[in-house]
Structure 1
C-alpha cells in the first residue's frame, strides 16, 4: 500500500516538473517570436495581429490542457483516498 502511494506521489511530482519545464519552454518561444517580430526590418514576417491570434489560440489550448490536468489530479487524489 505504501509503495503504491509512493509511486503515485513520484508520478505526480514528475508530472509537475514536466509541466513546469514545458511552460518555461513555451514562454521562451513566445518571447522569441515577439522579439523576432519587433526587431524585423521589413514586412516579410507574420503581421502582429496574426501573432496575437496564434498566441490566443495557444492560450486556449493551454487552458484545455490545464483542465485535463486538473481532472487527472482530482482522479489521482480520489484514487489515493480509495486505496
Structure 2
C-alpha cells in the first residue's frame, strides 16, 4: 500500500507539471498569434494537440482521485 501511495504522489506531481505545460503552451500560442498571422490549419492542429494533452491529463487526474478515495476508505476501515 505504501508503494501505491508513493506512486500516487509521483503521479500528482507529474499531473501538476502536465497542467503547467498545457498552460504555458496556450499562453505561448496566444502571445505568438497576436504578432504573427497563423494559418487556420496550423491553429487547428495546435488546438487538437492541446486537447489531447488536456483530456489525457484530466483522465489521469480522475484516476488518481479515484485511487486516493479508495485508499482513504481502506485507511478508515483499518482504523
Pairwise TM-score range, normalised by the shorter structure: 0.5 to 0.7
Instruction: Tell me what 1:27 maps to.
Output: 23
- Scaled by the length of structure 1, the TM-score of the pair is 0.57
Moved over 4 A (4+): 19-22
Q: Is residue 77 of structure 2 the alignment partner of residue 66 of structure 1?
A: no
Instruction: State the alpha-carbon separation in 1 of the partners of residues 24 and 38 from structure 2.
Output: 23
Instruction: State the alpha-carbon separation in 2 of the partners of residues 42 and 74 from structure 1.
Output: 44
- Scaled by the length of structure 2, the TM-score of the pair is 0.59
Aligned residues: 74
**Structure 2: runs of 5 or more not aligned:** none
Q: Which has the larger radius of gyration?
A: 1
Partner SS for 2:53? helix
Cα RMSD between the aligned structures? 3.3
Q: Is residue 48 of structure 2 the alignment partner of residue 53 of structure 1?
A: yes
